Structure 1
Amino acid sequence: MREIVITLADVVNEIHDILTFLFSDMTDKELHFWVMGIIGMVTFLVVHFFFKLIERLKWSTTILSFIYTFTGMVVLVFAIELQQAITNRGNMEFADAVIGLWGFIVLFFIYAVLGLIVYVIKKKIFKRKDK
């Protein structure tokens, strides 16, 4: 994992150097303003488009809640792994982050299956009462 973080940092530094060269008339703060602003807006537009599609689905709130929670979990597991690298307490491994996310996905899947079972049972009970 340490190698991945170092490689990503190197890539970001290379991109930063290229942008600094191309836009040499900008300060570092101005460059960050525009680059992060553009990245943020492109991300927002893509996410907004997909969330509008999800909004039309039956369990849209559950889907959106899962996406939001999963995103938070990704940030959390990588923050924990980075903290381990900084403090030298534990091993910083990509596999640890992945298995932590799998834990959430498996438990969410169990929750979804149980919720679906309850939903089907309720539908059958109310269907019988209507007859």
Structure 2
Amino acid sequence: MKEIVIMLAEIVNNIHDILIDLLGVHMTDKELHFWIIGVIGMITFFVVFFFFKLIEKMKLSITIISFIFTFTGMVVLVFAIELQQAITNRGNMEFADAVAGLWGFLGLFFVYSIIGLIIYVMKKLFTDN
């Protein structure tokens, strides 16, 4: 996990150097963060907006959007926990731990989905439509 964080930091530093050296962009870190995060945020917004508009047309749109939002929160949470472990030296900072935590959520969500599907099918079978 530490290696992944270090690798990501190196990628960000390389992008920073490219912007400064090759493009002649001379900004403070705050200005650079303003523009880069702003652009990344807007690109992400438009991609997410497009996909959520497609999901909106589906029958289980609220469930799908709730899952996506929750999964995103879980990704942030598990990586925050792993970083906290590295900072406090309590536990091992490992990518596999983060993945295991996400698999736990996906497994329990799968069980929830199966139970929901069974209830849905039972209602359809026993109600007049």
TM-score (normalised: structure 1):
0.92
Partner secondary structure for residue 127 of structure 2: helix
Cα deviation code 1:71-99 (max 9, x no counterpart): 00000000000110111100111000001
Q: Report deviation, 1:28.
A: 2.6
Q: Report deviation, 1:30.
A: 2.0
**Contact in 2 for aligned 1:81/1:92 (Cα 8 Å):** yes
Report what 2:12 is aligned to: 12
Report what 1:69 is aligned to: 70
Q: In the TM superposition, what are the counterparts of 1:15-54 in structure 2 within 5 Å?
A: 15-21=15-21, 22-54=23-55
Q: Report deviation, 1:17.
A: 1.7
Cα deviation code 1:18-55 (max 9, x no counterpart): 12332434333222111111100000000000011111
Distance 2:77 2:33 in 1: 24
Is there any run of 5+ residues in structure 2 with no aligned partner, and where?
none
**Contact in 2 for aligned 1:82/1:92 (Cα 8 Å):** yes
Distance 1:24 1:111 in 2: 51
**Contact in 2 for aligned 1:20/1:31 (Cα 8 Å):** no
Report what 1:114 is aligned to: 115
Q: In the TM superposition, what are the counterparts of 1:75-114 in structure 2 within 5 Å?
A: 75-114=76-115
Larger mean Cα displacement after TM superposition, 104-113 or 29-38: 29-38
Number of equivalent positions: 128
Distance 1:23 1:112 in 2: 53
AA in 2 matched with 1:9 = A
Is there any run of 5+ residues in structure 1 with no aligned partner, and where?
none
Larger mean Cα displacement after TM superposition, 31-40 or 101-110: 31-40
AA in 2 matched with 1:76 = L
